[in-house]
Structure 1
Amino acid sequence: MPAARLVVDFGLVVLIWLVQLIIYPSFRYMSPEQLAVWHPKYTNLITVIVGPLMLAQVGLVGWELFTRFSWLALISAVLVGLTWVLTVFQAIPLHNQIAAGINLSDTIERLISANWLRTVIWTVIFLLGLVRTG
């Protein structure tokens, strides 16, 4: 299971850095009309990728927590839970505002800014996995 966990964590860390450095900033360069066309496609497609990875991460972290408890596993579980909270209560509402065309410039900047915390957390989760398996 440690290898599967590392693969999933790596997938999420690569994905979040692509989103943070390339995808979200690219929204700045789209007209409201272009964003209205692209954003729903993007959110549907990214959900197909990130959804299974996040679910796999929860399952693998939960399995590890209950079968091979360690403080690193507990810290990872808390951080994974935090990524879910931030996704549900911060990222998704901001995406909903973008989809509705609400104050696009400000909302895009808020999304980029808010997403830094998820980027750092998923990076820490991956680094903890390297420590755990190292």
Structure 2
Amino acid sequence: MNEVLLIINAILIGIILVTQIVSYPLLLVVKESNFRNYHTIYTKRISIVVLPLMLSELFITTYILIFDPNPNHVFAALMLLFIWLSTFFIQVPIHNIISKSKSTKLIKKLIISNWLRTSLWIIKFFFLISL
């Protein structure tokens, strides 16, 4: 089970790094006239890729935590909790606002705030691999 979790975590790191370094900065150069359409397509497509992986990571982490609640698994679960909190209380609200109208200020906030998730996924991966 831990191996599956590590594989999912590694895939999510790849996705979040591409998002952080490529996708989010590209939002800044999309013309305002095309932005709503581009953003709608982007969020739908990325959700199809990311949501099943994030849910799998959540279910596997919960399973491991229930059946082996040692401090290491609690720590990993807390990191995952912070990833989810960041996602749904920081990044998703920004996406909801910019889906209506392009805002350079909010896109920059999205890029900066997304480093939290990026860092947490990387830290969590190296923590889990060290166990």
Give me the TM-score of the superposition, normalised by structure 1.
Answer: 0.94
Q: How far off is 1:45 after superposition?
A: 0.6
Q: How far off is 1:69 after superposition?
A: 2.5
User: Alpha carbon RMSD of aligned pairs, Å?
Assistant: 1.0
Structure 2 CA distance, aligned partners of 1:57 and 1:20? 20
The aligned counterpart of 1:10 is 10
Deviation string, structure 1 residues 45-91 (Cα, Å, up to 9, x no partner): 11111101111111111111121222221111011111111111110
What letter matches 1:21 in structure 2? Answer: I
Moved over 3 A (4+): none
The aligned counterpart of 2:116 is 117
1:24 partnered with 2:24: yes
Identity %: 27
The aligned counterpart of 1:72 is 72
- The count of corresponding residues between Structure 1 and Structure 2 is 131
Structure 1 CA distance, aligned partners of 2:30 and 2:37? 10
What letter matches 2:101 in structure 1? Answer: G
**Counterpart secondary structure, 1:23:** helix
Q: Which runs of 5+ in 2 are unaligned?
A: none
Q: Which runs of 5+ in 1 are unaligned?
A: none
The aligned counterpart of 1:40 is 40
Structure 2 CA distance, aligned partners of 1:27 and 1:14? 19
The aligned counterpart of 1:106 is 105
The aligned counterpart of 2:128 is 129
Q: How far off is 1:11 after superposition?
A: 1.0
What letter matches 1:87 in structure 2? Answer: T
